[in-house]
Amino acid sequence: MTTPVPRQTSDAEPVRQSKRLRQAARMAEAASVGVKTLLLKILLLGIVDAISVYALFVLFLKQDWVVFGLVLFVTAVVNWIYFSRQKLPAKYLTPGLIFLLIFQIFVVGYSGYIAFTNYGTGHNSTKEDAVNALIVGSQQRVPDSATYDLTVLDQLGAYSFLVTDPDGDISVGNAETPLHRVNDAETDAAGTGIGLPGYTTLNFNDIVNNQEAIAALSVPLSDDPNDGTLRTPDGSSAYLYLSDLVYDASADTMTNATTDVVYTADPRSGAFTAENGEELRPGWKVEVGFDNFVTAFGTEAIRGPLISVTLWTFAFAFLAVATTFALGMALALVFNNMRMRGRNVYRVIMILPYAFPAFLSALVWAGMLNPQFGFVNQVLFGGAEIPWLTNEWLAKFSILFVNLWLGFPYMFLVTTGALQSIPDELQEAATVDGAKPWQVFRLIKLPLLLVSVAPLLIASFAFNFNNFNLIYFLTNGGPRDATAGVNVGATDILISMVYKVAFVGANRDYGLASAFSIIIFILVAVISIISFRQTKALEELN
């Protein structure tokens, strides 16, 4: 019988076992992290896909096939990239590219497209919508109209009419869908429709709480708008309303039945126009080519204000940069002296205006410059009524002064940093050679300073070229120029004029505003290109 020999274990065996255990633990942890990452990826992609499916459903109903195809393609590409085990760079780049396409390229492209249309008040939809709006807007109740028993229904926040005509037929319809017969309606003992599967019947309190919206609802009798609509004054009975305007689809005309005036569809202006030039509003959106640019430069009532606003925009942007840079640089030179005591405290005080939001500072200054009760007039000028914001030239001076208050801390900060980057040896060498302080500044510090801050000055010029907040909150572009063909004032710059043309007043012209935006883009681009070339030449000289 052979006696078993005990197995000899070396000191390295526990080390190897410990190493294998650590490797197994790391693999288990990596697998756990991988599962969590996969679940998170599926969750996020599920949210993205759910939003995309909803968008596709809406686009399908609207039959917007171009955008439908684009959303479908992007959704498929996103899923392919993130479910692939490769494509690592694309996984990081895709979110940024999508946001770039949506919020930059699409916005710029769409704005450029709008500049070549008549899109605006009275021209913001399709021709079919315009025809329906014209007919519905001119409808009047037929004096001997039959009474339709009515039940108001609700479906996902949209109201519909369930009507029973005098013959006992039950139909349902809403503002988008004409009346059509239904056979599964719930009825009362008299055979009147009182409910419909899939809809919620409104009770008396619901009708009273939403009476304005219900009274404004017009339900077409058929696909032909000339057949009229049903409307209700009380939510229990509906009556026939017919329009004074009659639309002839074959001739593409709209005839006023009362005056017999015929309005013909004008594909150029996007409106029904009579022989005397009278137009029916609303119209519809059409492409007008370069008409908006012709209007901007060819109409005297618009060309004159556009030129004056452009000149003031350039003057404001240049003076804003020049004054803030001059003051900021002067203060930086003063507080850059190492022998000054408490200079850090002074520096903090200097940047306080920069710490407050610009629009709040502009509102505060608007109150301080008020002619009647402002601090400046009441305290500093002893109660004088100086029209700081209502006189053309004083308003421009006030804007430049307030901008100086808001902008010099930024220039103070950047010039301080640029000055501290200039080697002291250069100044010491110039001083030894007999240069005076002014010569040291003019020949050494200023050129080196300009090389460092020139790109910032260009960016500041572009910012002030579109400094909407200051103009809007301080003067709102006023005082108003009553002779101008557009809503514009003496202190308006191009961007504030674009805002007024697009969003202020009864007539909003998005097409003309987009044309102005393209003009601004071209001007800023040209100025930036020229300025950066000059900056490069300045760097080569130094």
pLDDT at site 391? 94
Least confident of 165-169, 229-233, 288-292, 443-447: 443-447
Q: Does the pLDDT at position 4 exceed 60?
A: no
The two three-digit tokens of residue 93, written as one number:
């780049």
Of residues 426 and 522, more confidently modeled: 522
pLDDT at site 540? 61
Q: Does the pLDDT at position 22 exceed 90?
A: no
The top-scoring range by mean pLDDT among 137-141, 351-355, 401-405 is 401-405
pLDDT at site 542? 56
Compute the average pLDDT of residues 131-149: 89
Question: How far apart (Å, rounded) are the C-alpha atoms in residues 305 and 489?
Answer: 9
pLDDT at site 6? 55
63-122 pLDDT, tens per residue? 888 889 999 999 999 999 888 878 788 888 988 998 898 888 988 899 899 999 999 998
Question: How far apart (Å, rounded) are the C-alpha atoms in residues 471 and 313?
Answer: 11
Q: Does the pLDDT at position 10 exceed 60?
A: no
- Fold for 127-280, please state it: Periplasmic binding protein-like II (2.40.430)
Question: How far apart (Å, rounded) are the C-alpha atoms in residues 161 and 340?
Answer: 82
Q: CA 137, 143, 149: angle at the middle one, nearest 5?
A: 85
Q: Read off the DSSP letter of residue 5.
A: P
The two three-digit tokens of residue 137, written as one number:
């807007």
Q: Which option is the CATH number for 297-541: 3.40.50.720, 1.10.3720.10, 3.40.50.620, 2.30.31.70?
A: 1.10.3720.10
Centre a 10 Å sphere on the Cβ of residue 128 and count the other Cβ atoms it contains.
10
pLDDT at site 89? 86
pLDDT at site 13? 65
265-312 pLDDT, tens per residue? 999 899 999 999 899 999 999 999 999 999 999 888 899 999 999 999
> Residue 23: exposed, middle, or buried by beta-carbon count in 10 A (0-12, 13-18, 19+)?
exposed
What's the mean pLDDT when you consider all of the chain? 88
484-516 pLDDT, tens per residue? 888 899 999 999 999 999 998 878 999 999 999
33-54 pLDDT, tens per residue? 667 777 887 888 889 899 999 9
pLDDT at site 3? 57
Which part of the chain has CATH 1.10.3720.10? 297-541
Give the model's confidence band at 343: pLDDT under 50 very low, under 70 low, under 90 confident, else very high. confident
Give the model's confidence band at 437: pLDDT under 50 very low, under 70 low, under 90 confident, else very high. confident
Residue 513 to residues 71, 374, 519, Cα–Cα distance (Å): 29, 35, 10
Residue 353 to residues 330, 409, 513, Cα–Cα distance (Å): 17, 7, 33
Give the model's confidence band at 355: pLDDT under 50 very low, under 70 low, under 90 confident, else very high. confident
Centre a 10 Å sphere on the Cβ of residue 40 and count the other Cβ atoms it contains.
10
Q: Which helix (H) or strand (E) holds 489?
A: none
pLDDT at site 62? 80
172-184 pLDDT, tens per residue? 999 989 999 999 9
Give the model's confidence band at 421: pLDDT under 50 very low, under 70 low, under 90 confident, else very high. confident
Q: Does the pLDDT at position 529 exceed 70?
A: yes
pLDDT at site 5? 53
376-404 pLDDT, tens per residue? 999 999 889 999 999 999 999 999 999 99
pLDDT at site 85? 78
Q: CA 430, 436, 438: angle at the middle one, nearest 5?
A: 105
Q: Does the pLDDT at position 15 exceed 70?
A: no
Which part of the chain has CATH 2.40.430.10? 127-280
Q: Does the pLDDT at position 339 exceed 80?
A: no
